[in-house]
Structure 1
Amino acid sequence: MKAINYLNYFFVGLPLLLVVLGILTKESNGNLIGTGLLFTILTGLFQLVFGIKMLIDEPQDKNLKYYFRGVVLFFSLWLINGLIFNIEIVYFIIFILPIILAIFFSTITYKKAHP
């Protein structure tokens, strides 16, 4: 579990590091910032895959169930708002929700790695 925790640190920290470096170096073409933002997709994929693995191993864990309810809420809001409603305030929720889910998954992995 500690390996998953360290991998999670890497996948969460690298996009932040790239964006901060892009801002600090005042890069005119935006390669570092763009790479950091695109790397967040891999962060979400990593957390989703390992979250599924952890939920299969421990199906009674309440925190993992809450995490997956949040993931389902995110994708449901994204699809329903994009295809049917198109309400602007929902886009702000869709923007904030992955950040909250990433922090929540990080706390779950930390608690499991350091009981």
Structure 2
Amino acid sequence: IMVAAAMGFALNAALEESAIREWGWRIPFLFGCLIVPFIFLLRRKLEETQEFTARRHHLAMRDVFKTLLKNWPVVIAGMLMVAMTTTAFYLITVYAPTFGKKVLLLSA
């Protein structure tokens, strides 16, 4: 989060608003794409702990689906909770600032 905030601050300081609107908004996505290979390489080099290796066992997909079907109310409740938090997040981060700027005529 701190890196993203710093990148946003740096972009706003370095680029004009028109440049950010035209092409500058792509820079954080490019940065994210460039660090993915490094993250995979780093993860591949890490060793699992002995406790994790000893406890690891693979379930059959049949058992996974059986558990999901057995606990379907919990699965549905979890899906609804994720949908509600996602909706609230976008209302706060996208809709509210736009509403404030366009309807309430607040300064950016």
Q: Which has the higher helix share?
A: 1
> Which TM-score applies when normalising by structure 2?
0.32
TM-score (norm 1): 0.31
Larger Rg: 2
Relative contact order (C-alpha < 8 Å, sep 6+): which is higher? 1
